[in-house]
């Protein structure tokens, strides 16, 4: 039996482990070509505090409410954590009894859900300054309760949570009026935390816009509100857009290679034909043609300077792969990939260098387990961002 555990690690290391564990619960999280570090770097820069497994904005208040509620004189931090987990599971039951269950963590698994909201939202709580110390889930000290409301507020001001945290509703978590819908004061408070903690980001820009993001916008650069963002957010978004376009092509060529190898091996479970994957790649080539002027002007040195400044762990091999692929987009090599061996080798060698004997293109067993490939570009958590920001906008509109 294998497990992931920690004994004496920093809060940051614990958070990273929690996020890795959470990612394994999602579909479509495989990073086949090893560009996840770059994707996440720009996601964090554009939309700090947001992750793909967050569901609704009100959880940014529900988690601290659970900690404040379960603080008792004499309780150790570990005891508080045990009680908080119990409160979180009670909250699952409460929300699942409600009429509006969209975004409930535990909607399917119920109170036995493995990953609780506190694990999912912890990094966001830190990023937005709602949690004021970078500590682990089980390291929050008990808050000393005072006799009256004024003294209690003063006590909390010196505690782990933001001093202006709105009070939890009466009988929380046994009841929760409105479910996961923010009230107007809660939405205003959360918006202020975002503006105060991550100013000049694309997230800050969309949270103060007159309208929420367009529901059907697939990428931030396709959304009218995002397109009106000033620098430096707009500059970051341009880098992110072109990188997304590049990754989409590399991924589609990888799918072409897999589809061809899959068919040659005689596998038949995947219904989509090789020609369909070829057509997806041709459609991408059309997008490259539409963006040829932007690609020609793309400052790759600036792109890498931006990426490495935020994440120095990006490897030289990854940079070489991306540079080679982008150069192929610019000089036309990528346009010949359905016939030309050079761009195919670039993709195949990249997979081999990352996975070794586990590379699908050379491992017949893993090739047979292939379920078909996704064909979209990177959206940098835009789907989650739309939900969180829309929650805030709708909350602000409530009387």
State yes or no: cis peptide before 23, omega within 30 of 0: no
- Asked if 213 and 394 touch (Cβ cutoff 8 Å), the reply is no
Delimit the domains of the chain by residue range. 11-30+58-181, 233-368
Residues 6+ apart with CB under 8 A from 307: 38, 41, 42, 314
Q: Which strand (E) or helix (H) includes residue 282?
A: helix 274-290
Predicted local confidence at residue 49, as pLDDT: 97
d(CA 178, CA 117): 18
Residue with tokens 């603080």, as numbered in its chain: 71
Of 141, 138, 120, 122, the residue nearest 130 (C-alpha): 122
Q: Per residue of the chain (399 residues), what is the pLDDT tens digit?
A: 444 443 344 455 555 555 554 444 343 345 889 999 999 999 999 999 999 999 999 999 999 999 999 887 778 888 888 999 999 999 999 999 987 779 999 999 999 999 999 999 999 999 999 999 888 888 886 544 444 444 444 344 348 899 999 999 999 999 999 999 999 999 999 999 999 999 999 999 999 999 999 999 999 999 999 999 999 999 999 999 999 999 999 999 999 999 999 999 999 999 999 999 999 999 999 999 999 999 999 999 999 999 999 999 999 999 999 999 999 999 999 999 999 999 999 999 999 999 999 999 999 999 999 999 888 899 999 999 999 999 999 999 997
49 φψ region: left (φ > 0), alpha (ψ -120 to 50), beta (else): left
Distances (CA, A) of 115 to 24, 111, 161, 317, 396: 11, 10, 22, 34, 29
What are all long-range contacts of 95-104, with beta carbons under 8 Å and residues at least 24 apart?
Answer: 95/176, 95/179, 95/180, 98/176, 98/179, 99/179, 100/179, 100/180, 100/181, 101/179, 102/56, 102/180, 103/55, 103/56, 103/180, 103/387, 104/55, 104/56, 104/179, 104/180
**Does this model's pTM top 0.85?**
yes
Torsion angle (degrees, nearest 10) of CA 119, 97, 128, 83: -50
Predicted local confidence at residue 145, as pLDDT: 42
Question: Tokens at residue 236, please?
Answer: 């970051």
Give the DSSP per-residue string, 332-357. Answer: SGGGGTTT-HHHHHHHHHHHHHHHGG
Torsion angle (degrees, nearest 10) of CA 154, 155, 161, 167: -70
Between CA 159 and CA 146, with CA 60 as vertex, the angle to 5 degrees is 30
Q: Which strand (E) or helix (H) includes residue 245?
A: helix 233-264
Predicted local confidence at residue 345, as pLDDT: 97
d(CA 211, CA 323): 38
Q: How many residues does the chain have?
A: 399
Residues 6+ apart with CB under 8 A from 214: 223, 224, 225
One-letter-per-residue 3-state SS of 59-87: HHHHHHHHHHHHCCCCCCHHHHHHHHHHH
- Asked if 319 and 300 touch (Cβ cutoff 8 Å), the reply is no
Predicted local confidence at residue 142, as pLDDT: 52
d(CA 19, CA 12): 11
**Alpha-carbon dihedral sign for residues 90, 96, 98, 102:** positive
- How many Å from the N-terminal Cα to the C-terminal Cα in the chain? 53
Predicted local confidence at residue 13, as pLDDT: 54
- Asked if 39 and 381 touch (Cβ cutoff 8 Å), the reply is no
């Amino acid at each position: 039996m294998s497990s992931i555990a920690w004994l004496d690690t920093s809060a940051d290391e614990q958070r990273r482990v929690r996020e890795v564990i959470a990612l394994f619960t999602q579909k479509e999280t495989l990073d086949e070509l090893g560009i996840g570090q770059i994707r996440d770097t720009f996601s964090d820069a554009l939309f700090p505090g947001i992750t793909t497994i967050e569901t609704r904005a009100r959880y940014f208040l529900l988690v601290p409410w659970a900690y404040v509620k379960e603080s008792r004189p004499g309780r150790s931090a570990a005891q508080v954590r045990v009680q908080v987990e119990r409160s979180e599971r009670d909250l699952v039951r409460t929300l699942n009894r409600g009429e509006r269950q969209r975004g409930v963590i535990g909607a399917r698994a119920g109170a036995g859900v493995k990953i609780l909201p506190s694990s999912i939202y912890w990094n966001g709580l830190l990023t937005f300054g709602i949690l004021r110390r970078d500590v682990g889930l089980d390291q929050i000290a008990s808050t000393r309760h005072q006799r009256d409301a004024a003294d209690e507020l003063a006590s909390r001001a010196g505690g782990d949570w933001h001093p202006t945290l709105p009070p939890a509703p009466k009988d929380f978590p046994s009841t929760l009026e409105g479910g996961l819908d923010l009230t107007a004061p809660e939405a205003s408070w959360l918006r202020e935390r975002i503006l105060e903690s991550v100013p000049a980001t694309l997230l800050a820009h969309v949270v103060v816009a007159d309208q929420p993001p367009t529901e059907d916008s697939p990428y931030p650069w396709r959304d009218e509100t995002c397109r009106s963002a000033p620098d430096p957010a707009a500059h970051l978004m341009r880098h992110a857009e072109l990188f997304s376009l590049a990754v989409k092509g590399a991924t589609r060529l990888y799918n072409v290679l897999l589809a061809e190898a899959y068919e040659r091996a005689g596998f038949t479970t995947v219904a989509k034909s090789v020609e369909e994957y070829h057509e997806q790649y041709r459609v991408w080539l059309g997008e490259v043609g539409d963006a040829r002027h932007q690609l020609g002007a793309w400052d790759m040195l600036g792109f890498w300077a931006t990426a490495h400044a935020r994440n120095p762990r990006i490897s030289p091999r990854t940079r070489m792969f991306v540079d080679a692929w982008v150069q192929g987009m610019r000089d036309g090599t990528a346009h010949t990939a359905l016939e030309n061996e050079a761009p195919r080798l670039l993709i195949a060698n990249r997979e081999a260098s990352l996975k070794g004997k586990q590379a699908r293109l050379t491992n017949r067993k893993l090739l047979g387990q292939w379920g078909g490939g996704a064909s979209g570009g990177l959206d940098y958590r835009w789907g989650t961002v739309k939900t969180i920001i829309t929650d805030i906008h709708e909350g602000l509109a409530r009387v």
